[in-house]
Amino acid sequence: TLTFASLATALYTAYKLYRTYGDPVLRELPSVKDGIEELIGKTQIVKLRSLSAETGCDIFAKLELTNPAGSAKDRVALNIIKTAEKKGLLVRGEKPEGWVFEGTSGSTGISIAMICNALGYRAHISLPDDTSLEKLALLESLGAVVNPVKPASIVDPDQYVNAAKKACDELNESGAAKGVFADQFENEANWRVHYETTGPEIWDQMDHNIDGFIAGCGTGGTITGVSKYLKEVSHPYVVLADPQGSGFYNRINYGVMYDEVEKEGTRRRHQVDTIVEGIGLNRITRNFKHGEKYIDESIRVTDKQAVGMAKYLSIHDGFFAGSSTAINAVAAVKLAKRLPAGSRIVIIACDSGSRHLSKFWKEAKIVDREVTLDEIMSS
Ligand code: PMP
């Protein structure tokens, strides 16, 4: 017989089950993780409302800046380290600890340093000595050995990538500990992780409906991995957003690296000529080469446009962008003007403005808050 007490118990049990498994708010919450490295990836996507309203297209940002070490490079650093572990080049818990060496404009070094600490390795990071102060301070705070070198061309043995490889070779020759050269520009663990994670995440989060994808190119890992995946499942128009002084623009649009088309760029190196960090290069890396065929066009963006855009997004969306994110947003507006109204464009937001306060944002900060999007685009 149904008593009041049994009915109440049944109802209470159902309520508890609902609170545990059925509540949509709770269901969306990620589970507790075992360590910092498990927080990497599955980043959110947000609509950039101001740009969407102004252009009539929907423009979204994939928030790679919410990775634990603050950029998309967390995915790459973790995959490079895991790949080295699979080959037995790094062993967790081994004494003396294994070392990871890298040459980087900063972001990858910060990701490597954080993951090394989490997994019991040491990090040795070579980078150009004009890298933003925030990145240097972060690396030092994470206890990495930091090796700032003079900005130089890749043919110079003291260039930061060459310096990293040399330091790694020296450790291995000494026999004091094991060293691995991460080699993000040439290491294909880079684009693969974007093909396996970032690309599928975007496709799923966008409900299998995306018309344009935009990223900058440093190593080429992001644009290669994501574009390869998206082109396999759909036909989005892929744009490489390129800062001034970089060769990709001419390579993609005219098939030649800058010197044949844009003589003025011949001796340029991005940190010297632009305040935008992490993207732009004048050589073809393995990670870029692998994905070049998926890129439909490159759009050139000036520092001035990027600075204006960063301020605009901060003022109108509360979105505090790093320099490469601002470059991508400018390219998105240019693309939106050409695509049919309502088209859906996704940009990569690689890192946040807080990493660029002393350089890029020093310029962006002083931009007048009344500047319009049209003024930014024609600046
Ligand atoms: N944005 C920032 C801030 C970066 O540091 C980098 C990588 N150096 C990129 C974009 C470009 O990413 P990728 O190396 O995958 O081409």
Task: List phi, psi (to 5°) of 265.
Answer: -85, -5
Query: Could you tell which of 66, 73, 112, 352 is best to mutate to test the pocket of ligand 1, judged by most ligand atoms within 8 Å of the CB?
Result: 73
Question: What is the per-residue pLDDT for 69?
Answer: 97
Spell out, as residue ranges, where the chain has pLDDT lower than 50: 259-272
Structure tokens at 189: 């663990």
Question: What is the per-residue pLDDT for 106?
Answer: 84
Atom of ligand 1 nearest to the CA of 221: 15
Atom of ligand 1 nearest to the CA of 324: 1
* pTM assigned to the model: 0.92
Separation of CA 280 and ligand 1 centre (Å): 9
Separation of CA 279 and ligand 1 centre (Å): 5
* 175 φψ region: left (φ > 0), alpha (ψ -120 to 50), beta (else): left
Cis bond upstream, residue 96 (ω within 30): yes
Question: What is the per-residue pLDDT for 274?
Answer: 82
Question: What is the per-residue pLDDT for 268?
Answer: 43
Task: List phi, psi (to 5°) of 165.
Answer: -65, -40
Residues with CB under 6 A from ligand 1: 71, 105, 107, 216-223, 277-279, 322, 324, 350-351
**Cβ 280 vs Cβ 218: under 8 Å:** yes
Residue nearest to atom 7 of ligand 1 (CA): 278
Pairing of strands 58-63, 45-47: antiparallel
The radius of gyration of the chain from alpha carbons, rounded to an integer in Å, stands at 23
Question: What is the per-residue pLDDT for 271?
Answer: 39
Q: What is the pLDDT of residues 139-177, one digit of tens each?
A: 999 999 999 999 887 888 889 999 999 999 999 999 999
Helices (H), 151-285: 160-174, 189-193, 199-205, 221-233, 248-254, 270-273
Residue nearest to atom 8 of ligand 1 (CA): 278
